[in-house]
Amino acid sequence: MSAVLTDPLLASLVPAHGFGTRDALPPEPLVRPKQVHGDRVVDALVCRAAAQPPEADAIVSAESEFAIAVVTADCVPILLSAPDGAVVAALHAGWRGLAAGVVAAGVAALLARAGCSGAACLAAIGPHIGPCCYEVDEPVLAALDAGLGAPARAAARATRPGHARLDLGALCRAALRDACLPEAAIGTTAAVCTACDPRRFHSYRRDGPRSGRLVHFIRAAPRG
Ligand SMILES: [Zn+2]
């Protein structure tokens, strides 16, 4: 049984978080949206109260009674916390979500809820497919270019005509910096490649539609 991965930086504020591995057991209860590769953010209480999980790729919570989560199999999971750990967020960012602006939307919702600035927040980037294993084609690059501009091209390394290796983690860091998070506030110790490590991680690119999903969770600290 492999354990969840934690981020030392984020752990200083929010002990109750983890990036999933293949057979790690997430905590219960767990509240998560129906992910659709968009930029919509849902509140944890709204999500929990809904008969069917609402469509969203980011969830924000101030509840210490239950954890919130996103699931991935190559896309980037991002866990976020306000300065006191009392408001947290979980984001699912693949190339479609990144192009749509899910990172900016998720951080904005967290800041609005916590009443703080991005400069005071912490983020942690979890396991996702690395540029070592992630070649994309021109339509993907064009969509990212349209949505994100210069950082999109900077995260791509040309391979063969019409293709490039894409660094999704670098795109996430750029989007977080755009939201005013300092580089030093972005933890990357858990940002390892899912496709390179079949023992620990599910990978859609490697395993196809039968791939499982990794569960990444965070629970707000009780208010002082
Ligand atoms: Zn790899």
What is the gyration radius of the CA atoms in the chain, in angstroms?
A: 16
CA 127 / ligand 1 centre spacing (Å): 10
- The structure tokens listed for 165 are 């290796």
Domain 8-218 = CATH 2.60.260.20? no
CA 129 / ligand 1 centre spacing (Å): 6
pLDDT in tens, 203-218: 999 999 999 999 999 9
CA 194 / ligand 1 centre spacing (Å): 7
CA 195 / ligand 1 centre spacing (Å): 5
pLDDT (0 to 100) of residue 118: 94
pLDDT in tens, 50-75: 999 999 999 999 999 999 999 999 99
- The structure tokens listed for 101 are 């602006």
> Residue 224 — very low, low, confident or very high, per pLDDT cuts 50/70/90?
low
pLDDT in tens, 103-140: 999 999 999 999 999 999 999 999 999 999 999 999 99
> Does residue 1 surpass a pLDDT of 70?
no
CA 131 / ligand 1 centre spacing (Å): 7
CA 18 / ligand 1 centre spacing (Å): 21
CA 134 / ligand 1 centre spacing (Å): 7
CA 175 / ligand 1 centre spacing (Å): 22
Worst-scoring range by mean pLDDT, 36-40, 147-151, 210-214, 220-224? 220-224
CA 126 / ligand 1 centre spacing (Å): 14
CA 32 / ligand 1 centre spacing (Å): 27
Residue 16 and residue 27 in contact, taking contact as beta carbons nearer than 8 Å? yes
- The structure tokens listed for 192 are 């390892």
Higher pLDDT, 1 or 210: 210
Domain positions in the chain are 8-218
pLDDT (0 to 100) of residue 2: 61
Q: List the beta bridge partners of residue 214.
A: 72
CA 192 / ligand 1 centre spacing (Å): 8
Give the other-Cβ count within 10 Å of 118's Cβ: 20
pLDDT in tens, 4-43: 999 999 999 999 999 999 989 999 999 999 999 999 999 9
CA 63 / ligand 1 centre spacing (Å): 35
Q: Global pTM? A: 0.97
CA 55 / ligand 1 centre spacing (Å): 29
Which stretch of DSSP H or E encloses residue 97? helix 95-100
pLDDT in tens, 160-198: 999 999 999 999 999 999 999 999 999 999 999 999 999
